[in-house]
Structures are given as structure tokens and as C-alpha cells.
Chain A
Amino acid sequence: MPEIHISQAQLQPEAPSPGGQGPGNRASNEVSRVRVHLLSRGNSAWADRGFHWLMVICALTIFGIVALIATELVLRSQLAWSKFGFKFFFSHFTNPDTKLPLYWDPVNGHFSALPFLYGTLVSSFLALLIAVPLAIGVAIFLTEMCPQLLRGPLAFVTELLAAIPSVIYGLWAVTILVPLMREQVNPLLFKLLGWTGLTSDDNPTGLGFLTAGVILAVMILPIISSLTREVMSTVPHSQREAVLALGATRWEMIRIAVLRNARIGIVGAIILGLGRALGETMAVAMVIGNSPEIHRSILANGSTMASVIANEFSEASDELHMSALIEIGLALFVVTIIVNAIARMLVWAVTRGAPAQTR
């Protein structure tokens, strides 16, 4: 490689008079002032490094918070854990008088989380049962069939519904849904399906698993449908065209091209909705009836992990009771982390690299 030297004289033919034909003297004065100013400033390497580390620390704070929550929950639930161990989630006690199973009796120090696990699972399952078909329907409608004009407002409404606080859903449920369930839906279900035992009519309140499931369904519907919509819109247009070109009807196209391609992402969206349903507290606590029992009937009163914490935590006076509630909280924490992690990975797997495919 040749060594190149250009002398200063060659580079700057005349005496430097920056400003060209501009005001000569004053201009060069300005130049030197600016240059002196800039040269006098440090290269601020320490400031850069400090800023970098500040950002890193803030980012690590997020780690710290999650770790702190986890340790705190583990520490505070030690008492219940050491007393009941794994049986906390599976066992029951027997009421000496009635000989019926007894799960949760703070007065006598009997604690088993089984009815809350059951309640959480049943209400979430019912919610998914109602919400998933609706949500997928809404998403298909929005991405594939909806006139362009309606798309924006409808998407906006779904977004708004996702932003309504759960306590307001609860309030709505208490004043509208509960009477409706009490007077119309539950008697009807009893008449139609009472013989299965799943909808036996021993609860005249209108509260219960099904009511909780319905309100949960309303709450997770926007989440599932908006995520499903997102996943569906990543399906490349060429795929749709290819199927249509083979002579498929519109519905066949949706089934073959869209749903099949997007299915992993849709499952992810459903699981994400499940995560929300599992942890949902206020609306459920307001309509599920709050009794720590296990019933076969979905019309019966029950309680979920989240709702029992909301209801009893501030009244829990003895250590064991509080510790048991915190252990339920810990279980909920772990479960939702796992559920969310699975869902995120599925949604990520689909949406990552998608933009490259669409064109």
C-alpha cells in the first residue's frame, strides 16, 4: 500500500480563511472560537461509560424485582410449606362431625389449596371454552372478511375492552350478569343438562363457577382475538393466493392457508389468555361465591387461588393462615410464569422473521 503525504500547503492552498467569500475576519474569529470550544471539551468517555452502566443497572432492576418477589414469596410461605409439604395441594381433612371432606378451615388450622386449584382450573377452562371460538371468529372476521371501513373502529373497540379495569367488569357482572344467570341461564341449564350433574340446581344466588367463567371469557376475549389477528396477518399473502388459485372456496382458503399456518401462534394466544384468566382476581372474587369447596356442578359456589387471597389476606390473623395464602400466591406466580413463558415462545416463534416472509 502506498504511503501518501500531502503537505499542509497542498491541502490548504491559501492561508486559511474559512467563510469563503463571507465576512472574512469576523468569520475566522468565530471559527477559532468554535474550535477552541470543541477542543477544550473532554471526550466524555467517563460520561458515556457512566450512562451505559446506569442503563444496564436499570435494566437489571427488572431482574432484581422478579427475583425479589420470588424470594419474598418463598420465605414467607416457609411455615405452611414445612407443615404441609406437597400435600398442601392434594390432600383434604375430614370434618369430625359431618364426616364430609374439609379443605380450608382457618379456625382449626386446616389448610389445603385443592379447592382453589380446582376452582381456578374450572373457571379458566370455562372461560376458554366460551372465549376461544368467539375470539378466533372475531379475528377471522377482522383479517379476512371485514370491510376495510369497519376494521379500524372494531380493532379500536377490542383494544378499549382490553383496557377496562377488572373491577369494572366485576361491577358489571354483579349488577347485570349475576341476576341474568340467576333468573334465566342457570334454570335453563338445569332443565337441559341437570341430569348430568354438571349443572345441578343447588345454588340460588347466580354466583359460581359458570358466572366467573363467563366474565373471564369477556375479559380474555380481546387479548386472544387481537393476538390471533396479529399472528394471522403474518401469514404471507402468497400462501392465500396459492390456495385460492387451486380453486378453494374462501372458507377452505382460511382453513387451509390461514389457520393451519397460524396455528402455533393461535395456541400461543390462547395460552396467553389462559395466563390472564388464571391470575385474574377482582372480577372473579366478586362473582364466584367464595366458598372453599369442590363441587361437580358448574353452577355451584367456589373460589379460585387469586380470589381467596383477595378475600382472606387482610383478615388472616395467625401466621399459618397467612403463610398458607402466600404459598397459594407463590403457586400462582410459578404457574403464570410457566404459562406465559410457553405462550411467549410460541408467539415469538411465529412472529419472528415474519416480515421477511410477507414480501
Chain B
Amino acid sequence: MIAPLVAIFVYLIYKGAVSLNLDFFTRNPVPVGELGGGMANAIVGSAILLGVGSLIGVPVGISGGIFLAEFGRGSRLATAIRFTADVLNGVPSIVMGIAIYSLIVVPQKHFSALSGGVALGIMMIPTVCRTTEEMLLMVPHAVREAALALGVPNWRSVLAITVKTASPGIITGCMLAFARVAGETAPLIFTAFGNSNWTVNPNEAMAALPLQIYVYALSPYDEWHKLAWAGSLVLIVLIVAAVSLVRYVTSRGVLKGAS
């Protein structure tokens, strides 16, 4: 039953490996008709977009999770927020794209990596928030008591003891969110937009790996298809690495994390 799904995977690795070379990482895209070229700009672009996204998604998500686990336990506000996070998780990425387009791109009057990063960041929040909450709830109550009994103020006890104890799990959650949005294309089409030139200015339109794969996949040129496969392989390796790490850490258990 799973065989066809595994087939996708094997095919992807084969196609990608065949087309991957050093140029892919070091060169920018070249115009139609020229051979070679790479996705250096898209790799850097993805890194910048994900960086901006993490700057937004991780702090807000973790704080939200802390609220749910440490302050709002059982309160109606917490239930509502938990539900909203689930709703936000289910919002189609394309809808996120048009919302950010009208919120940021329209007032700014130009596409920008910044707006793309915001879109990705917002999409990270629910995952980060919910895993943080789950991981914090796994920290035994006795540990919290121990910290409070020493006369440590609550905020310090939460940050330095509870969050620190759960930190392997929380980092895992962030990686998971990161892996999820790393492959997102739809929210970037009208925000980061794509760019065939090199740029690191977050206020300009910027290329991203998934965007570039999308464009190349729909092109009629063989050379571009190859690049799309190579790009997919790079993206997948990144995601698989993140997911395996997550699995490894969670299978070892949160609390045994630090020895």
C-alpha cells in the first residue's frame, strides 16, 4: 500500500542526484537557452525568508505555548486560543498569501522578502505554539515546585527551569514548523514573488527554492526540469534532516534530552 509513495521518494532522489552539481549551489539562474546555471540566489533567498519567518514565528509561538501551559491552564481564554491556533493551522496557505499581499505588499507598493517572511512566520506560529505547550505539560509539576520553593520568582522559574527542561522538545517543535514552511510556495507567489537575480535586500522581491521549483517545473525546457529536480532534492534533504532529528529527539524522550 505504501509502495507507490515510496516510489515517489526513490524517483525524486534519483532524479535529483543526477541533476545536482556544484553549479547548482554557486550560480544564479541563467536565461532560457543557456546551459547550466544554478539556484544560489534561491537558496540564499529561502534562508533569508525562513530567517525572517523564524524571527516572528518562534518567539510568538513559544510565548503562546508558555501562556497555554503555565498561565492559562483550564481557563476559557486558553481554550479559545488553542482553538484559534488550530484554525490558523488550517488556513490554506494561498489565503495566507493574499491576506499578506493586501496587508503588506499593497501599502508598500512592491513585492518584498519581508512580506514573504511574515507570511511564513505566521504559518509557523500554530505548530510552535502547540508543541511548546505539549512539551511544557510533560515537565513534572515537582520541578516547578522545586524552583518556586527556592524563592525564585515565577517568571524566572518558568524560563530558566520549566522551559529549559522542555527545551529539547521545544526546539524540536520549531524544527518541525521550520520544515513545514520551508517548502511552502503558495504564500510566496504574491509576497516574495521570486527574482532571477542575486539579492540579499529583504525589502526587494526575492527568489526562494520552492518558488523556483514551481516556475521551472511548469516550463517546457528539459534543462529547467533538471534544475527543478535538483532543487527538490535539496529541499527534501533539508526537511528529512529536520524530521529525522525531531523523531530522534522525541523517541529519546524530552526529559532525558540533556545528560
A48, A61, A171, A313: the one within 8 Å of B190 (CB): A313
Would you give the 0/1 interface string for B51-71, flagging 1 where the beta carbon is closer than 8 Å to chain A? 000000001100110111011
- The smallest beta-carbon distance between A341 and chain B, in angstroms, is 7
Chain B residues near A280 (CB-CB < 8 A): 92
The reply to whether A167 and B87 form a contact with Cβ atoms under 8 Å apart is no
Would you give the 0/1 interface string for B61-93, flagging 1 where the beta carbon is closer than 8 Å to chain A? 001101110111000011011011111111111
* Nearest A residue (CB) for B8: A172
The reply to whether B64 and A344 form a contact with Cβ atoms under 8 Å apart is no
The reply to whether B72 and A171 form a contact with Cβ atoms under 8 Å apart is no
* Nearest B residue (CB) for A138: B1
A60 is an interface residue with CB less than 8 A from chain B: yes
* Nearest A residue (CB) for B211: A167
Stretch of B32-40, B166-174, B231-239 at the chain-chain interface: B231-239
B15, B129, B193: the one within 8 Å of A62 (CB): B129
Chain A residues near B12 (CB-CB < 8 A): 168, 172
The reply to whether B189 and A313 form a contact with Cβ atoms under 8 Å apart is yes
Chain B residues near A69 (CB-CB < 8 A): 91, 95-96, 99
| Residues in B177-194 with C-beta less than 8 Å from chain A | 179-180, 182-186, 189-190, 193
B31 is an interface residue with CB less than 8 A from chain A: no
Known contacts A48-B153, A73-B99; decide if A336 and B247 are in contact (CB<8 Å): no
- The smallest beta-carbon distance between B186 and chain A, in angstroms, is 4
| Residues in A261-289 with C-beta less than 8 Å from chain B | 275-276, 278-282, 286
Chain B residues near A281 (CB-CB < 8 A): 92-94, 185-186
Chain A residues near B5 (CB-CB < 8 A): 157, 161, 218, 221-222
- The smallest beta-carbon distance between A48 and chain B, in angstroms, is 5
- The smallest beta-carbon distance between B104 and chain A, in angstroms, is 10
| Residues in A120-150 with C-beta less than 8 Å from chain B | 134, 137-138, 141
Query: In the complex the two chains form, what is the Cα distance from A174 to B217 in whole Å?
Result: 8
The reply to whether A165 and B182 form a contact with Cβ atoms under 8 Å apart is yes
Interface range for A: 35 or more
Chain B residues near A167 (CB-CB < 8 A): 183, 185, 210, 213-214, 217, 232
Known contacts A157-B6, A165-B235; decide if A66 and B98 are in contact (CB<8 Å): no
Known contacts A55-B67, A309-B98; decide if A336 and B217 are in contact (CB<8 Å): no
Chain A residues near B80 (CB-CB < 8 A): 63
- The smallest beta-carbon distance between B152 and chain A, in angstroms, is 9
Query: In the complex the two chains form, what is the Cα distance from A341 to B90 in whole Å?
Result: 9
Chain A residues near B213 (CB-CB < 8 A): 167-168, 171
Query: In the complex the two chains form, what is the Cα distance from A137 to B3 in whole Å?
Result: 14
The reply to whether A310 and B243 form a contact with Cβ atoms under 8 Å apart is no
Chain B residues near A68 (CB-CB < 8 A): 99, 103
Query: In the complex the two chains form, what is the Cα distance from A76 to B77 in whole Å?
Result: 30
A15 is an interface residue with CB less than 8 A from chain B: no
Known contacts A51-B158, A309-B94; decide if A66 and B84 are in contact (CB<8 Å): yes
B126 is an interface residue with CB less than 8 A from chain A: yes
Chain A residues near B21 (CB-CB < 8 A): none
B203 is an interface residue with CB less than 8 A from chain A: no
Would you give the 0/1 interface string for B227-259, flagging 1 where the beta carbon is closer than 8 Å to chain A? 011001001100110010001000000000000
A52, A160, A168, A309: the one within 8 Å of B232 (CB): A168
B11 is an interface residue with CB less than 8 A from chain A: yes
Chain B residues near A59 (CB-CB < 8 A): 63-64, 67-68, 72, 77-78, 81
| Residues in B142-156 with C-beta less than 8 Å from chain A | 151, 153-156
The reply to whether A48 and B154 form a contact with Cβ atoms under 8 Å apart is yes
- The smallest beta-carbon distance between B173 and chain A, in angstroms, is 14
How many residues belonging to B are interface residues under a CB distance threshold of 8 Å?
Answer: 79
Would you give the 0/1 interface string for A241-272, flagging 1 where the beta carbon is closer than 8 Å to chain B? 00000000000000000000000000000000
B125 is an interface residue with CB less than 8 A from chain A: yes
B122 is an interface residue with CB less than 8 A from chain A: yes
A326 is an interface residue with CB less than 8 A from chain B: yes
A30 is an interface residue with CB less than 8 A from chain B: no
B108 is an interface residue with CB less than 8 A from chain A: no
Known contacts A58-B67, A165-B185; decide if A279 and B218 are in contact (CB<8 Å): no
Chain A residues near B68 (CB-CB < 8 A): 59
- The smallest beta-carbon distance between B172 and chain A, in angstroms, is 13
The reply to whether A336 and B63 form a contact with Cβ atoms under 8 Å apart is no
The reply to whether B210 and A55 form a contact with Cβ atoms under 8 Å apart is no
Known contacts A138-B2, A309-B98; decide if A166 and B155 are in contact (CB<8 Å): no
> A residues within 8 Å of B by Cβ?
38, 43-44, 47-48, 50-52, 54-56, 58-63, 65-66, 68-69, 72-73, 76, 134, 137-138, 141, 154, 156-161, 163-172, 174-176, 218, 221-222, 275-276, 278-282, 286, 306, 309-310, 313-314, 325-326, 329-330, 332-333, 336-337, 339-341, 344
13 contacts across the A-B interface (CB closer than 8 A):
A44-B155, A44-B156, A58-B64, A61-B125, A62-B81, A62-B84, A167-B213, A167-B232, A168-B236, A170-B217, A306-B92, A309-B97, A329-B94
Interchain residue pairs A-B with the least CB separation, the first 3: A165-B183, A279-B92, A58-B63
- Beyond A63-B84, A167-B232, A340-B89: 17 further Cβ-contacts under 8 Å? A48-B153, A58-B63, A58-B67, A59-B77, A59-B78, A62-B60, A66-B91, A73-B99, A134-B1, A160-B243, A166-B186, A168-B232, A169-B8, A281-B186, A282-B185, A286-B217, A341-B83
